[in-house]
């Protein structure tokens, strides 16, 4: 795929001009930011309302773009792209006045005669680097948070979704001037140019390997980062679970967007007592949701396509490697390179040494493994990096608590999948290899804000009693304060 050339809302540049144009836009935003840094909640809310209006006016164009980029249906576009962004906008509109109010904190003993608060201020000029798998949602979601926090924003979307990028650029251009929000398109060389600039914050969504590159580049300017990464998110199903419900939800969560979802179930660990029933139900729901025959699944408009030939080849190789290492194809396995299609695939008897159990799959391939004891399930999870999500299906409180206490993940969902992503009162983010920082709702606003500590004293504070010279009395006072803190 040819990468789009660098563009802004109103102008485009060729490759030779790139190194000049990007710093120029950055400097324009840096100069403009003081004008919006102290905008009121009312003014920011108005901007968010205008953005919502522009999204609605361009809804048909969004449908066409996502269908062109990887055959996403209108219903799935509404559910996983537009609804998520609109939800962020409405949530910010409802809560922004509260977020911007100074947050009072109680005084401590050494500051009894003071008043203190935290005020959230914009970071400044920020960079949002978004991925291809949900190019509308994962681009505009962070942008909404950055707008609410009062920042200027440079947006670098993925070069693999040019049609969606064009619509995003159009929508933002209808509301914001380029010196407030600019969309910069291009390949990895453009991202490299952007990362050389001294942004005040970088918000990156993508894979851990690129996340390390972003973090290293940010360190050169001591810029703060939010890294929304990924990993192998496991599902644990014990013998007490509602097997029919678990299978239905796992199939939906796994094959949504053809498995190209950061919080998709990556593999399943099922108690051996209910393994046959779960496998049968998974096969049943693949047929029910996507078609009973291969021809029906391939023609199903609710089943998108793999984003690129390279990604398709990688997934085909994962399946081949698993089978060569002893795995059984319990469903699917068919592929069509010309259409970038892979059938909903289920693997059993999977070797832990196969690539499908070592790498994040990020596609419609589901390994299902069995376990006899709870310890065996958590031991399997512990061998891999800390995941972005963990899914537990159980009606046994003791088992659920055990799984929670013996594992670590960015988020956990009990008796459902992926729902935690849409819950705006919860922070969304990973831990270590699966991410740094969090987003959504207030947590997204906070990511793009600096929590400034302010202390005001209105009379002599007791701390003056502890000033030099350090006489015997002062030393005793210091020890006394230490005891009562």
Active-site residues, by number, are: 228, 262
Q: What is 345-374 written as a DSSP string?
A: EEEES--TTSGGGTS---SSEEEEEEESSH
Distance CA 330, CA 284 (A): 12
Helix (H, G, I), strand (E, B) or coil at 118: strand
Cα distance from N-terminal residue to C-terminal residue, the chain:
63
Q: What is the H or E stretch that residue 69 is in?
A: helix 59-70
User: β-pairing, 224-228 with 201-205?
Assistant: parallel
User: β-pairing, 114-122 with 103-105?
Assistant: antiparallel
Burial code of 145-176, b = ≥16 C-beta within 10 A, e = fewer? bbbbbbbbbbbbbbbbbbbbbbbbbbbbbebb
Q: 325 with 316: CB under 8 angstroms?
A: no
Residue 17 in tokens: 């001009």
What are the CA-CA distances from residue 179 to residues 9, 10, 183 (Å)? 10, 11, 11
Helix (H, G, I), strand (E, B) or coil at 389: strand
Q: 19 with 143: CB under 8 angstroms?
A: no
């Amino acid at each position: 795929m040819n990468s789009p050339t660098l563009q802004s809302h109103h102008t485009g540049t060729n490759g030779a001009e790139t190194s000049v144009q990007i710093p120029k836009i950055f400097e324009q935003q840096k100069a403009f930011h003081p004008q919006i840094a102290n905008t009121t909640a009312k003014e920011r809310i108005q901007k968010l309302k205008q953005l919502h209006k522009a999204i609605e006016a361009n809804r048909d164009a969004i449908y066409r773009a996502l269908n062109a980029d990887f055959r996403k249906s209108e219903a799935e576009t509404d559910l996983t792209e537009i609804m998520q962004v609109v939800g962020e906008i409405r949530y910010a509109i409802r809560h922004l006045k509260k977020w911007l109010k100074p947050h009072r904190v109680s005084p401590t003993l050494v500051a009894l005669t003071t008043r203190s608060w935290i005020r959230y201020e914009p970071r400044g000029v920020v960079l949002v680097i978004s991925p291809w798998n949900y190019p509308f949602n994962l681009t505009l979601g962070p942008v909404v948070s950055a707008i609410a926090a009062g920042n200027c924003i440079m947006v670098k979307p993925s070069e693999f979704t040019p049609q969606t990028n064009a619509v995003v650029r159009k929508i933002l251009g209808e509301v914001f001037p380029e010196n407030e929000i600019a969309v910069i398109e291009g390949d990895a060389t453009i991202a490299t140019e952007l990362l050389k600039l001294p942004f005040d914050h970088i918000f990156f969504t993508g894979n851990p390997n690129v996340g390390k590159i972003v973090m290293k580049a940010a360190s050169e300017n001591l810029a703060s980062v939010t890294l929304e990464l990924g990993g192998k998110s496991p599902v644990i199903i014990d013998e007490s679970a509602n097997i029919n419900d678990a299978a239905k939800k796992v199939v939906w969560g796994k094959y949504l967007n053809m498995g190209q979802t950061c919080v998709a179930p990556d593999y399943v660990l099922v108690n051996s007592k209910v393994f046959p029933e779960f496998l049968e139900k998974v096969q049943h729901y693949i047929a029910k949701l996507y078609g009973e025959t291969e021809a029906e699944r391939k023609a199903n408009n609710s089943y998108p396509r793999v984003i690129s030939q390279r990604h398709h080849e990688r997934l085909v190789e994962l399946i081949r490697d698993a089978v060569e290492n002893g795995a059984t194809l319990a469903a699917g396995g068919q592929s069509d390179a010309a259409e970038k299609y892979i059938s909903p695939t289920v693997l059993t008897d999977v070797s832990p040494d196969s690539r499908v159990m070592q790498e994040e799959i990020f596609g419609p391939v589901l390994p299902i493994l069995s376990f006899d004891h709870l310890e065996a399930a958590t031991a399997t999870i512990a061998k891999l990096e800390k995941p972005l999500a963990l899914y537990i299906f159980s009606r046994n409180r003791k088992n659920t608590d055990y799984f929670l206490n013996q594992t670590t993940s960015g988020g956990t969902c009990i008796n459902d999948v992926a729902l935690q992503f849409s819950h705006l009162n919860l922070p969304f983010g990973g831990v270590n290899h699966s991410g740094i920082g969090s987003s959504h709702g207030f947590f997204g606003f906070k990511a793009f804000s600096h929590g400034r500590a302010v202390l005001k004293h209105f009379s002599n504070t007791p701390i003056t009693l502890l000033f030099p010279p350090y006489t015997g009395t002062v030393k005793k006072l210091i020890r006394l304060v230490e005891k009562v803190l």
